[in-house]
Structure 1
Amino acid sequence: MEQTRRVKEVQQEIISNALLACRIRKALRIHYEAARRQKGVGAYKRMTNIVMAGIEQSKVFQDIRRSIGIKLRDLTFQLNVENATWCFSFERLLNVNIKQWTLASHKIGQVEGQEKEKLRSILSDFEKRRERLVSDIKRLEEEARI
Protein backbone atom coordinates (compact mmCIF):
# COMPACT_ATOMS: atom_id res chain seq x y z
CA MET A 1 0.00 0.00 0.00
CA GLU A 2 2.89 2.31 0.82
CA GLN A 3 4.46 1.68 -2.57
CA THR A 4 1.16 2.27 -4.36
CA ARG A 5 0.72 5.55 -2.50
CA ARG A 6 4.24 6.63 -3.47
CA VAL A 7 3.66 5.73 -7.13
CA LYS A 8 0.45 7.78 -7.14
CA GLU A 9 2.26 10.74 -5.59
CA VAL A 10 4.98 10.60 -8.25
CA GLN A 11 2.31 10.28 -10.93
CA GLN A 12 0.48 13.36 -9.62
CA GLU A 13 3.74 15.29 -9.39
CA ILE A 14 4.66 14.37 -12.97
CA ILE A 15 1.22 15.35 -14.23
CA SER A 16 1.16 18.64 -12.33
CA ASN A 17 4.70 19.62 -13.40
CA ALA A 18 4.65 18.29 -16.92
CA LEU A 19 1.23 19.24 -18.10
CA LEU A 20 1.01 22.80 -16.91
CA ALA A 21 -0.99 24.40 -19.70
CA CYS A 22 0.66 27.79 -19.31
CA ARG A 23 4.13 26.27 -19.75
CA ILE A 24 3.12 24.45 -22.89
CA ARG A 25 1.25 27.47 -24.31
CA LYS A 26 4.25 29.70 -23.68
CA ALA A 27 6.60 27.25 -25.35
CA LEU A 28 4.36 26.90 -28.38
CA ARG A 29 3.05 30.48 -28.64
CA ILE A 30 5.35 31.42 -31.54
CA HIS A 31 4.42 28.26 -33.43
CA TYR A 32 0.69 28.76 -32.79
CA GLU A 33 0.93 32.32 -34.14
CA ALA A 34 2.83 31.13 -37.22
CA ALA A 35 0.24 28.40 -37.77
CA ARG A 36 -2.59 30.92 -37.37
CA ARG A 37 -1.19 33.09 -40.17
CA GLN A 38 -1.39 30.24 -42.68
CA LYS A 39 -4.01 30.73 -45.41
CA GLY A 40 -5.02 29.20 -48.66
CA VAL A 41 -4.90 25.70 -50.10
CA GLY A 42 -3.05 23.26 -47.84
CA ALA A 43 -3.10 25.66 -44.90
CA TYR A 44 -4.29 22.98 -42.48
CA LYS A 45 -1.38 20.70 -43.37
CA ARG A 46 1.12 23.56 -43.04
CA MET A 47 -0.46 24.53 -39.69
CA THR A 48 -0.11 21.00 -38.30
CA ASN A 49 3.46 20.77 -39.62
CA ILE A 50 4.37 24.06 -37.90
CA VAL A 51 2.81 22.95 -34.59
CA MET A 52 4.44 19.50 -34.80
CA ALA A 53 7.83 21.07 -35.53
CA GLY A 54 7.31 23.33 -32.52
CA ILE A 55 6.54 20.36 -30.32
CA GLU A 56 9.66 18.53 -31.54
CA GLN A 57 11.92 21.58 -31.15
CA SER A 58 10.49 22.98 -27.93
CA LYS A 59 12.80 22.74 -24.95
CA VAL A 60 9.86 22.45 -22.55
CA PHE A 61 8.95 19.01 -23.88
CA GLN A 62 12.55 17.85 -23.63
CA ASP A 63 12.61 19.11 -20.03
CA ILE A 64 9.34 17.34 -19.29
CA ARG A 65 10.64 14.12 -20.83
CA ARG A 66 13.89 14.36 -18.87
CA SER A 67 12.05 15.16 -15.63
CA ILE A 68 9.65 12.23 -16.08
CA GLY A 69 12.56 9.91 -16.92
CA ILE A 70 14.48 10.92 -13.79
CA LYS A 71 11.45 10.53 -11.52
CA LEU A 72 10.58 7.15 -13.01
CA ARG A 73 14.18 5.88 -12.75
CA ASP A 74 14.34 6.97 -9.11
CA LEU A 75 10.99 5.36 -8.36
CA THR A 76 11.97 2.16 -10.20
CA PHE A 77 15.23 1.92 -8.26
CA GLN A 78 13.50 2.55 -4.94
CA LEU A 79 10.76 -0.01 -5.64
CA ASN A 80 13.32 -2.58 -6.83
CA VAL A 81 15.34 -2.16 -3.62
CA GLU A 82 12.24 -2.42 -1.41
CA ASN A 83 10.85 -5.40 -3.30
CA ALA A 84 14.21 -7.19 -3.27
CA THR A 85 14.41 -6.67 0.50
CA TRP A 86 10.81 -7.79 0.97
CA CYS A 87 11.30 -10.82 -1.29
CA PHE A 88 14.54 -11.75 0.50
CA SER A 89 12.88 -11.65 3.93
CA PHE A 90 9.84 -13.49 2.55
CA GLU A 91 12.12 -16.11 0.98
CA ARG A 92 13.98 -16.59 4.27
CA LEU A 93 10.71 -16.94 6.17
CA LEU A 94 9.41 -19.38 3.56
CA ASN A 95 12.59 -21.48 3.77
CA VAL A 96 12.35 -21.59 7.57
CA ASN A 97 8.69 -22.62 7.37
CA ILE A 98 9.47 -25.32 4.79
CA LYS A 99 12.29 -26.69 6.96
CA GLN A 100 10.03 -26.73 10.03
CA TRP A 101 7.23 -28.37 8.08
CA THR A 102 9.63 -30.97 6.65
CA LEU A 103 11.04 -31.72 10.09
CA ALA A 104 7.55 -32.01 11.61
CA SER A 105 6.43 -34.17 8.68
CA HIS A 106 9.46 -36.43 9.15
CA LYS A 107 8.72 -36.78 12.88
CA ILE A 108 5.06 -37.54 12.13
CA GLY A 109 6.20 -40.13 9.60
CA GLN A 110 8.44 -41.77 12.22
CA VAL A 111 5.64 -41.84 14.79
CA GLU A 112 3.25 -43.19 12.16
CA GLY A 113 5.78 -45.90 11.27
CA GLN A 114 6.12 -46.87 14.93
CA GLU A 115 2.34 -47.03 15.36
CA LYS A 116 1.98 -49.16 12.23
CA GLU A 117 4.64 -51.52 13.56
CA LYS A 118 2.73 -51.81 16.85
CA LEU A 119 -0.47 -52.58 14.91
CA ARG A 120 1.36 -55.23 12.85
CA SER A 121 2.61 -56.92 16.03
CA ILE A 122 -0.90 -56.79 17.56
CA LEU A 123 -2.39 -58.25 14.35
CA SER A 124 0.33 -60.89 14.23
CA ASP A 125 -0.36 -61.82 17.84
CA PHE A 126 -4.10 -61.88 17.09
CA GLU A 127 -3.52 -64.15 14.08
CA LYS A 128 -1.47 -66.56 16.21
CA ARG A 129 -4.22 -66.66 18.85
CA ARG A 130 -6.91 -67.10 16.21
CA GLU A 131 -4.99 -70.01 14.66
CA ARG A 132 -4.64 -71.61 18.09
CA LEU A 133 -8.36 -71.12 18.75
CA VAL A 134 -9.28 -72.61 15.37
CA SER A 135 -7.00 -75.59 15.98
CA ASP A 136 -8.42 -76.00 19.52
CA ILE A 137 -11.98 -75.90 18.14
CA LYS A 138 -11.14 -78.52 15.52
CA ARG A 139 -9.50 -80.70 18.16
CA LEU A 140 -12.49 -80.34 20.47
CA GLU A 141 -14.90 -81.12 17.61
CA GLU A 142 -12.95 -84.25 16.87
CA GLU A 143 -12.90 -85.24 20.52
CA ALA A 144 -16.63 -84.65 20.71
CA ARG A 145 -17.21 -86.97 17.73
CA ILE A 146 -15.29 -89.79 19.24
Structure 2
Amino acid sequence: MLLGLYALGSLDAQFGGVLLIVLGLGLLAAEAFVVSHGLLAGGGMVSFILGSLMLFGGGSPDLRLNIGLIAVTAVCMAAFIAFLLGAVIKARGRPVVTGRESLVGTIGKALTDLRPEGIILAEGERWHAESLEPVTAGQRVVILEVEGLKVKVKKADEG
Protein backbone atom coordinates (compact mmCIF):
# COMPACT_ATOMS: atom_id res chain seq x y z
CA MET A 1 0.00 0.00 0.00
CA LEU A 2 2.85 2.38 0.82
CA LEU A 3 4.53 1.66 -2.52
CA GLY A 4 1.22 2.20 -4.32
CA LEU A 5 0.70 5.58 -2.66
CA TYR A 6 4.26 6.55 -3.57
CA ALA A 7 3.79 5.44 -7.19
CA LEU A 8 0.56 7.47 -7.52
CA GLY A 9 2.30 10.57 -6.17
CA SER A 10 0.12 10.79 -3.07
CA LEU A 11 3.03 10.15 -0.72
CA ASP A 12 6.36 11.93 -0.95
CA ALA A 13 9.56 9.89 -1.05
CA GLN A 14 10.98 10.91 2.32
CA PHE A 15 7.84 10.12 4.31
CA GLY A 16 7.24 6.91 2.33
CA GLY A 17 10.83 5.83 2.94
CA VAL A 18 10.53 6.38 6.69
CA LEU A 19 7.24 4.45 6.79
CA LEU A 20 8.73 1.56 4.79
CA ILE A 21 11.75 1.37 7.10
CA VAL A 22 9.48 1.33 10.17
CA LEU A 23 7.28 -1.32 8.51
CA GLY A 24 10.38 -3.42 7.69
CA LEU A 25 11.67 -3.25 11.26
CA GLY A 26 8.19 -4.11 12.56
CA LEU A 27 8.00 -7.16 10.30
CA LEU A 28 11.47 -8.28 11.41
CA ALA A 29 10.41 -7.96 15.05
CA ALA A 30 7.14 -9.82 14.37
CA GLU A 31 9.13 -12.75 12.94
CA ALA A 32 10.29 -13.55 16.48
CA PHE A 33 6.72 -13.94 17.74
CA VAL A 34 4.83 -15.41 14.75
CA VAL A 35 5.48 -18.75 13.06
CA SER A 36 5.88 -17.59 9.46
CA HIS A 37 8.92 -19.69 8.46
CA GLY A 38 10.85 -16.60 7.40
CA LEU A 39 8.11 -14.99 5.30
CA LEU A 40 7.77 -11.96 7.58
CA ALA A 41 11.54 -11.59 7.71
CA GLY A 42 11.77 -11.63 3.92
CA GLY A 43 9.04 -8.99 3.63
CA GLY A 44 10.74 -6.95 6.31
CA MET A 45 14.05 -7.05 4.47
CA VAL A 46 12.46 -5.98 1.16
CA SER A 47 10.55 -3.19 2.91
CA PHE A 48 13.69 -2.01 4.72
CA ILE A 49 15.75 -1.95 1.51
CA LEU A 50 13.07 -0.12 -0.53
CA GLY A 51 12.51 2.37 2.29
CA SER A 52 16.24 3.02 2.53
CA LEU A 53 16.45 3.64 -1.20
CA MET A 54 13.45 6.01 -1.14
CA LEU A 55 14.49 7.88 1.99
CA PHE A 56 16.36 10.70 0.24
CA GLY A 57 15.06 10.06 -3.28
CA GLY A 58 13.48 13.46 -3.92
CA GLY A 59 16.33 15.63 -2.73
CA SER A 60 19.60 16.64 -4.28
CA PRO A 61 22.17 14.01 -5.33
CA ASP A 62 24.35 14.99 -2.37
CA LEU A 63 21.70 13.76 0.09
CA ARG A 64 21.46 10.16 -1.12
CA LEU A 65 22.27 7.17 1.06
CA ASN A 66 25.26 5.13 0.01
CA ILE A 67 24.09 1.90 -1.68
CA GLY A 68 26.97 0.04 -0.02
CA LEU A 69 25.75 1.11 3.41
CA ILE A 70 22.25 -0.14 2.63
CA ALA A 71 23.62 -3.45 1.32
CA VAL A 72 25.88 -4.04 4.33
CA THR A 73 23.07 -3.22 6.76
CA ALA A 74 20.65 -5.52 4.92
CA VAL A 75 23.17 -8.38 4.82
CA CYS A 76 23.93 -8.01 8.55
CA MET A 77 20.23 -8.02 9.39
CA ALA A 78 19.63 -11.06 7.16
CA ALA A 79 22.55 -12.90 8.80
CA PHE A 80 21.17 -12.12 12.26
CA ILE A 81 17.69 -13.37 11.28
CA ALA A 82 19.23 -16.53 9.78
CA PHE A 83 21.16 -17.10 13.02
CA LEU A 84 17.98 -16.71 15.08
CA LEU A 85 15.99 -19.05 12.81
CA GLY A 86 18.79 -21.63 13.04
CA ALA A 87 18.75 -21.41 16.83
CA VAL A 88 14.97 -21.91 16.88
CA ILE A 89 15.16 -24.93 14.59
CA LYS A 90 17.94 -26.42 16.72
CA ALA A 91 15.96 -25.86 19.93
CA ARG A 92 12.86 -27.56 18.52
CA GLY A 93 14.80 -30.80 18.03
CA ARG A 94 15.91 -31.09 21.65
CA PRO A 95 14.15 -33.51 23.99
CA VAL A 96 11.71 -32.22 26.60
CA VAL A 97 13.48 -31.54 29.90
CA THR A 98 10.67 -30.17 32.05
CA GLY A 99 7.12 -31.08 32.92
CA ARG A 100 5.27 -34.38 32.93
CA GLU A 101 6.64 -35.47 29.57
CA SER A 102 10.20 -35.47 30.87
CA LEU A 103 9.41 -38.13 33.50
CA VAL A 104 8.48 -40.88 31.02
CA GLY A 105 11.46 -43.24 30.72
CA THR A 106 13.12 -41.97 33.89
CA ILE A 107 14.70 -44.52 36.22
CA GLY A 108 13.56 -44.36 39.83
CA LYS A 109 13.94 -46.36 43.03
CA ALA A 110 11.10 -48.00 44.94
CA LEU A 111 10.99 -46.67 48.50
CA THR A 112 8.19 -49.06 49.53
CA ASP A 113 6.93 -52.33 48.15
CA LEU A 114 4.71 -51.84 45.12
CA ARG A 115 1.87 -54.39 45.38
CA PRO A 116 0.43 -52.79 43.20
CA GLU A 117 0.81 -49.29 44.73
CA GLY A 118 3.54 -47.63 46.74
CA ILE A 119 6.06 -44.79 46.78
CA ILE A 120 9.06 -44.31 44.47
CA LEU A 121 11.85 -41.74 44.28
CA ALA A 122 12.48 -40.28 40.81
CA GLU A 123 14.31 -37.07 39.88
CA GLY A 124 14.67 -36.26 43.58
CA GLU A 125 10.92 -36.37 44.19
CA ARG A 126 8.62 -38.88 45.85
CA TRP A 127 5.82 -40.16 43.65
CA HIS A 128 2.80 -42.36 44.27
CA ALA A 129 3.35 -45.27 41.92
CA GLU A 130 1.39 -48.16 40.54
CA SER A 131 3.06 -51.25 39.12
CA LEU A 132 1.61 -54.14 37.12
CA GLU A 133 4.12 -56.51 38.68
CA PRO A 134 5.25 -56.72 42.31
CA VAL A 135 8.31 -54.61 43.09
CA THR A 136 10.17 -54.78 46.38
CA ALA A 137 11.62 -51.75 48.16
CA GLY A 138 15.05 -50.76 46.84
CA GLN A 139 14.53 -52.07 43.29
CA ARG A 140 14.94 -49.81 40.29
CA VAL A 141 11.83 -48.98 38.25
CA VAL A 142 11.13 -47.22 34.94
CA ILE A 143 8.32 -44.70 34.68
CA LEU A 144 5.94 -45.62 31.83
CA GLU A 145 3.19 -43.05 32.22
CA VAL A 146 2.16 -40.07 34.36
CA GLU A 147 -1.47 -39.63 35.43
CA GLY A 148 -1.91 -36.58 37.60
CA LEU A 149 0.27 -37.13 40.67
CA LYS A 150 0.55 -40.89 40.17
CA VAL A 151 3.02 -42.69 37.91
CA LYS A 152 2.79 -46.12 36.36
CA VAL A 153 6.03 -48.07 36.52
CA LYS A 154 7.63 -51.41 35.74
CA LYS A 155 10.82 -53.08 36.94
CA ALA A 156 13.94 -51.71 35.31
CA ASP A 157 16.20 -54.10 33.42
CA GLU A 158 19.28 -54.91 35.44
CA GLY A 159 21.55 -54.19 32.45
Q: Tell me the TM-score normalised to structure 2 length.
A: 0.30
When Rg is computed on C-alpha atoms for both structures, the one with the higher figure is 1
Q: Tell me the TM-score normalised to structure 1 length.
A: 0.32
Higher helix share: 1
Higher strand share: 2
| Greater RCO (Cα-Cα under 8 Å, separation 6 or more) | 1
